[in-house]
Homo-oligomer: A and B are copies of this chain.
């Protein structure tokens, strides 16, 4: 197997300085030397800062005001130099680490991490933007592929940071930008009043004496500390816990603002910084799987020593990194030459990453033949238009692909076998295979009969004139007289005698989306009154999902309709947003919910003289589903699945919770993806109400979908005035509507106890509180009537 992960080493100014002491060849440079040494050590890439302390000193000297007084003269001089720099600028040779194309070849650059793109001071921010543009333009000149930006540090100014990044993406073509971001805010879990870890922290940068910036200009070894909200920091100890919740969500929230303002640019990625130790629950981390994580920054300090003294990672981090492997990240190992661990030396860190790669369950599944992951490799997150086998005649190669499924046909055979065994034995059992294709079900039917020791006749119907030739060939070579071939559409053709068992494989990823209900309506007239349909029923299931990748893929179609069409997709960079547990009010359904079901034969149908339904009205369906959203995320669409009962307890399922039990390793169906044109922000503990309709007219079937989001709040008892009007009592906590969150840390908890929710679901516990939903957003299709996409009848 190819390596999925790349490994890069992060070299500091000191490393480069050391290398400059004994340069042997005349054309050698310190950077070339460290890069070549890193290659020798087996690193794929090198990560270095582009600018030096000299540049920091020059910039700081002209753009930041010293805080001492009586510096008017010096300030005026600095202001003049700054204004001259703003008008046009170049680095001095000593202000940058790289000057040559060959030096930059295997290098990812770290942008000056003291640049405060989200400074509170307008003027500092303004000059930081100019400095960033200068640095990125220089990197671009050197053909650098990717620049890693210093993290946003201030939640309340992140929009300014985002605007600057967007501006740079647009001004500097080709260059990829990656935002370095701690996976969560580590300071929050250390308590709100912990002291700063670096001496420079807390210093403020200003250009004008009267304005105040709350950001440090010097980064510590762990990178600059985050300030999540300068104005909202609670001043009393008992509210400090709000920061704990913030900590787990706020860095993602900043990333979300940035990538949204950058309109999901494909040149913008994440460099996740694992400097802070991960929390013990992984639920809150799963959202990163749906983001474009390109780098993982991993300093030696994140490693712990195992009993032998070798560097290893904590269990949660191991697990997170193993899961991340599928996204082919580049690990940036920092300070690995500092000797932090007693055994193994520098090599031990990258060896350990390779060990995690080898033991990654997702990568193992990809390697193991027979798994869906292996079968689908290369198709992850690739959008395919669903097949329309009714309108189109499939190619032999398509049949070939689907006939490879090791599970589906075995289950069909088992269903036919059991149906045969159950069928009263008065002679031959008549089968009809409706939609025989190239004949796999016919063959399985014959095997089932021979296993059951029953005589059968099979009528094999097929409307694809090309596949019909294959069928004739197989009849002649393999099947003989027990099989009768009939050419034509099952809604028109006639079968010579009533049949006991009607077998079909017309299911799509969403069950009914390849028009199985409509086709079988046309074939039910063949069945004896007590006849059996295999499948006997199937249902469609939905869950809300987040995926920047799928959203971008769907948008790539340019046409607005491409964002209003369902796609078949093997999900990878996808996060299912819903959770189990009923939500705050205890009224939400499970993570994945059933939309509707079709049964065959249907009960009490109205039929015309030909045994056909006069209209297709009865195949219209709709569903309203309410999902609990435990963690904040962006809704990009809906994941669609199906489950089918073939016969009694033999089934097929791609339902994520049940497929392993029902039809493990079945390959034929990837899920369906229903995109939303306008992504919808969902806060932690919100509820999402999804409506989906299966609609039909004389010629077409199509789906429409819509979502509304709500926050659930609780109401305490209220008093009334004498006149019956409500008493306004803003100071009484009992009259507050409260957001019905069990605890601020619920956000970090994935499965609230079902018992406690169940006992609350009537909304009468908790001081007589009732529940009320506050609407907070919505998104929907704009193209009705199947204009965007439909399935032809």
Contact = CB atoms under 8 A, between A and B. Distances in A.
A760 B729 CA distance: 13
A366 to B, nearest CB: 36
Interface stretch (A341-349, A372-380, A535-543, A715-723): A715-723
Contacts of A76: 604, 606
A123 to B, nearest CB: 8
Interface string A619-646: 0111010000000100000000000000
A768 interface: yes
A718 B130 CA distance: 46
Contacts of A125: 622
A126 interface: yes
A170 interface: yes
Interface string A108-130: 00000000000000100111001
Interface in A724-756: 726-733, 735-746, 749, 752-753, 756
Interface in A487-545: none
B733 A777 contact: no
B731 A239 contact: no
Contacts of A604: 76, 79
Contact of A762 (B127, B235, B257, B622): B235
A732 B606 CA distance: 56
Interface residues of A, number: 120
Contacts of A67: none
Contacts of A689: 156
Contacts of A740: 736
A121 to B, nearest CB: 11
Interface string A759-782: 110111111111111111110101
Nearest to A620: B126
Nearest to A709: B776
A296 to B, nearest CB: 26
Given A620-B126, A718-B238, A614 B776 contact: no
A395 to B, nearest CB: 35
A238 B622 contact: no
A741 B749 contact: no
A708 interface: yes
In the complex, the count of this chain's copies comes to: 2
A205 to B, nearest CB: 16
Contacts of A159: 624, 691, 706, 708, 780
Interface string A697-708: 000000010101
A42 to B, nearest CB: 41
A614 B86 contact: yes
A241 interface: yes
A715 B239 contact: yes
Interface stretch (A141-149, A356-364, A385-393, A677-685): A677-685
A5 interface: no
Dominant SS among interface residues on chain A: mixed
Given A691-B160, A765-B731, A774 B711 contact: yes
A769 B775 CA distance: 24
Given A163-B704, A770-B239, A774-B739, A617 B126 contact: yes
A741 B729 CA distance: 10
A681 to B, nearest CB: 5
Interface string A196-240: 000000000000000000000000000000000001101110110
A632 B167 CA distance: 33
A587 interface: yes
A441 to B, nearest CB: 32
A693 interface: yes
Contact of A728 (B686, B718, B745): B745
Contacts of A756: 730-731
Nearest to A617: B86
Contact of A587 (B231, B709, B739): B231
Contacts of A167: 784-785
A744 B749 contact: no
A547 to B, nearest CB: 18
A13 interface: no
Contacts of A660: none
A140 interface: no
A248 to B, nearest CB: 12
A580 interface: no
B735 A766 contact: no
For A693, A715, A735, A765, which residue has the most chain B Cβ atoms within 10 angstroms?
A715
A178 interface: no
A614 B764 contact: no
A685 B757 CA distance: 27
A244 B767 CA distance: 20
A235 B774 CA distance: 19
B739 A743 contact: no
Contacts of A770: 234, 236, 238-239, 242
A87 interface: yes
Contacts of A130: 617
A171 interface: yes
A778 B257 contact: yes
Contacts of A774: 683-684, 711, 739
A166 interface: yes
Given A159-B708, A684-B774, 9 more contacts: A76-B604, A166-B784, A170-B785, A713-B738, A714-B738, A728-B746, A730-B752, A730-B757, A736-B739
15 contacts: A79-B604, A122-B622, A159-B706, A159-B780, A162-B706, A234-B770, A236-B770, A253-B775, A263-B782, A681-B776, A681-B777, A681-B778, A730-B742, A736-B738, A739-B774
The 8 nearest A-B residue pairs measured at CB: A738-B738, A239-B770, A730-B742, A159-B691, A713-B739, A83-B606, A733-B767, A263-B782
